[in-house]
Amino acid sequence: MNPLERYASLVEDREAFFDACERPLPSVVRVNTIRSTPDRARQALDEEGVGYEEADWNPQLLRLDERGPGTSWPYFHGWLHGQEEVSALPAIALDPQPGEKVWDSCAAPGSKTTQLSAMMDDCGVVVGNDNNLGRLSALRHNAERLGVTNLVVTKQDGRNFSLKPFGFDEFDRAIVDAPCSCEGTIRKNPDTLDQWTLDHVHSVAAIQKGILSRAIQATKPGGTVVYSTCTFAPEENEAVVDHALETEDCEVVEFDNPLESRPGVAEWEGDEYDPSVEKTHRIYPHLNDTGGFYCAKLEVTA
């Protein structure tokens, strides 16, 4: 059975949902504002005859007509970075400011991390962490290519991340774009569900809870933590946020989501979650012609 059948009851338009999951994803690039502006990037693509369409919700995101992003001059110069459209959302929800200290707990390969740096005008500190050396090398390569200078790269287990090496002991903001069962990436990787098991969902959820807890603890009171996944499973989304609400000092806050979304679910297969999870966002592929996604914004209360 297709694991996505589990979620048929959550989407109003079953057919549109499954149809969208069958379609390949558009090729999207983000303009790297450390190196260029949307205007110049568009001009460079025009000069090269590369067709594109601007995402209506964000002028920094360009949907390319055809080829992948890797073979154009603006890409060569690090003006552009290939990034799935919906994955630009968590950084926007986090809203990092220049000069702040921000933790990206699961940073590699770095699309979101470098987006954070760009939003901060490459000032302040982004600590990009990952526990896999190979993935870290991709993060380093991407950051270097995009001209990012405010990134600290660390290799730690996010669940017991230590701030000891740095000259400070709390972050202003943190982002947990957690490892997940990746159901929402089905349009990019059609075989992503071949390995799907409920056991894996539960085991990855335990890791997600650990990392999110650490992110909340490592962020100053009044600071912001964003939790996101590219999966539909409530066990990895609302249940993880619910666990954080129960065990850590935090609350769910609203954010201005420019994409069409559905509220988080407060009930799933007999479990009930804190009602405030309805302020979190589920994004199904057919809503904005993107991958599937989940995004929650939390404020640290103590």
Active site amino acids: 230
Minimum CB separation of residue 124 from another protein in Å reads 6
Nearer to another protein, 46 or 267 (CB): 46
Nearer to another protein, 99 or 190 (CB): 99
Question: Would you say 101 and 168 are in contact if contact means Cβ atoms under 8 Å apart?
Answer: yes
Question: Would you say 37 and 118 are in contact if contact means Cβ atoms under 8 Å apart?
Answer: no
In 10 A of CB 136, how many CB atoms? 20
Cis omega (within 30 of 0) for bond into 179: no
Nearer to another protein, 40 or 202 (CB): 40
The contact set with another protein (CB under 8 A) reads 34-35, 40-41, 43-44, 47-49, 70-78, 122-125, 128, 136, 139-141, 143-145, 147-155, 165-167
DSSP code per residue over 70-117: GGSHHHHTTSEEE--GGGGHHHHHH---TT-EEEETT-TT-HHHHHHH
Nearer to another protein, 36 or 288 (CB): 36
Closest CA to 189 of 54, 11, 25: 25
Minimum CB separation of residue 64 from another protein in Å reads 15
Question: Would you say 121 and 98 are in contact if contact means Cβ atoms under 8 Å apart?
Answer: yes
Give CA–CA dist 174/95, Å, rounded: 10
Minimum CB separation of residue 122 from another protein in Å reads 6
Which 3-state string (H, E, C) describes 129-168?
A: ECCCHHHHHHHHHHHHHCCCCCEEEECCCHHHCCCCCCCC
Question: Would you say 197 and 181 are in contact if contact means Cβ atoms under 8 Å apart?
Answer: no
Nearer to another protein, 35 or 187 (CB): 35
Minimum CB separation of residue 127 from another protein in Å reads 9
Minimum CB separation of residue 48 from another protein in Å reads 6
